[in-house]
Amino acid sequence: MIVDFGKDYELIDTGDFEKLERFGQYILRRPEPQAIWPKALSDSEWQRADAWFELNEEATNKSDRGTWHVRKGMSDKWFISYSHGNMKLTFRLGMTSFKHVGLFPEQANNWDYIYDHLNGKIENPEVLNLFAYTGGATLAAKAAGADVTHLDAVKQVVNWAHDNMDASHLDNVRWMVEDAMTYVERAARRGKRYHAIILDPPAYGRGPKGEKWIFEEAIAPLMKACSQLLYPTGGMVILNLYSMGFSPLVAENLLHCYFPQAKGIECDTLSFRDRAGRTLPLSVFARFSTL
């Protein structure tokens, strides 16, 4: 599935394990392990980037820490916008030591899905967003009129999500800095129910108290616990995966196994196409809505 983010994002070129992107007024150059083909643009075009990420010398894989090099005059924080129908979102971007900038623009497709399937369907739907990062899905749900619980294990990115909420002129999100499994198990014991659950788990991670997350080991227990939180009459679930090598069918199978009320599950790969027409796959998802 090719994503169209709109005017504030463009995948310019890909190749030689890198990608060249425009976020608003700035062009960034970052590592991209899946871009194994040669670049289409010349070296001089790539060298025009406003900022470029260099892995540390001791890095052992493409996700390790590194350093941003920034041209004089580039701001360390800037804003871009995204709109879909009456949904108007604004995001603060910045450069992190893990090559990210605080936004995964391919997720715009899931934001549209969230907004379209919540808006006007139920009065004040309750939504749980797990591994919620800087809050794109949270803001989409909030823009649709939902009561949202936003949970992430890292306080700094929860604060970042709060900034994005303010920039988008939204309010009243419930912010949680907690381990996802801990929260979900406690909510299930208390009989809590949600109309929609959104999950974007990493391959590896740590909870705020050092809880270990390894996707292959933890995803099944988490999905089982989440199945107890969704209203039995139905609802919406989105499962997004960034772990390289997984097919969208893996996500689809997880939804089939743990949500028997699921109907019309769709699964696909979220991708962008560069100016040369090459398609870069970025994440896989499965989702359904019976709202």
Backbone angles phi, psi at 83, to 5 degrees: -135, 150
End-to-end CA distance of the chain: 23
- Residues 116-140 pLDDT 10s: 999 988 889 999 999 999 999 999 9
- Residues 1-31 pLDDT 10s: 999 999 999 999 999 999 999 999 999 999 9
User: What pLDDT, on a 0 to 100 scale, did the predictor assign at position 258?
Assistant: 96
**Which residue type is seen at 132?**
A
Q: Where are the alpha helices (DSSP H) in 190-279?
A: 215-227, 248-258
User: What pLDDT, on a 0 to 100 scale, did the predictor assign at position 144?
Assistant: 97
List the domain boundaries for the chain.
104-289
pTM check: above 0.85: yes
Say which residues have a Cβ less than 8 Å from residue 124's Cβ, sequence separation at least 6.
145, 146, 147
Q: How many Cβ atoms sit within 10 Å of the Cβ of residue 237?
A: 28
Q: pLDDT band at 62, cuts 50/70/90? A: very low
104-289 fold: Rossmann fold (3.40.50)
Residue 262 contacts residue 223 (beta carbons within 8 Å):
no
- Residues 233-262 pLDDT 10s: 879 999 999 876 889 999 999 999 999 989
Residue where the block lists tokens 């995966």: 241
Residue 226 contacts residue 281 (beta carbons within 8 Å):
no
Q: Where are the alpha helices (DSSP H) in the chain?
A: 43-46, 108-118, 136-143, 155-167, 180-189, 215-227, 248-258
